[in-house]
Structure 1
């Protein structure tokens, strides 16, 4: 894909119904829209995590108590 990981993450979050996604949901969106990543090996997932952690435009928000599950949500700031 001709996009940076940060761009892929932004597209995934901005195209979600609530403008927020968990890490797992971001992975799923990327694979659904760019099937290349389904067979690309695990390295791209490290790059996604790296971009979420270091890029200041992505903000981690806690999962509400009313929504049980694993992981926080990520939003675009």
Structure 2
């Protein structure tokens, strides 16, 4: 298992995307491709990701915008919390 908290991995996924925003599916995909541990263990970690996105004030939801198809919105890191993300870890 990676030595990062779920919040840290979410930040890594979001910051590695274009525009610093990602859908939930994109966050899952990034975590699985970056940390193969999660490919083998499919169940509980996805609940933990959703829990962190919903309850951690550092993560904010943004709409997809008009005319953009797809389910769900984007997740971003609130700019006032970006300074807490240092060297891959969310402090």
For 1:72 and 1:5, how far apart are their aligned partners in 2? 20
For 1:32 and 1:70, how far apart are their aligned partners in 2? 22
Give structure 1 stretches of 5+ with no counterpart. Answer: none
Is 1:58 matched up with 2:62? no
Cα offset, 1:41, TM superposition: 2.7
For 1:73 and 1:25, how far apart are their aligned partners in 2? 9
What's the RMSD between the two structures over aligned residues? 0.7
TM value normalised by structure 1: 0.96
Cα offset, 1:66, TM superposition: 2.3
1:15 is matched with 16
Give structure 2 stretches of 5+ with no counterpart. Answer: 79-91
Q: 4+ residue runs of structure 1 moved beyond 6 angstroms?
A: none
Is 1:27 matched up with 2:28? yes
Aligned length: 77
Radius of gyration: which is bigger? 2
For 1:15 and 1:25, how far apart are their aligned partners in 2? 11
For 1:75 and 1:68, how far apart are their aligned partners in 2? 19
TM value normalised by structure 2: 0.82
1:43 is matched with 44
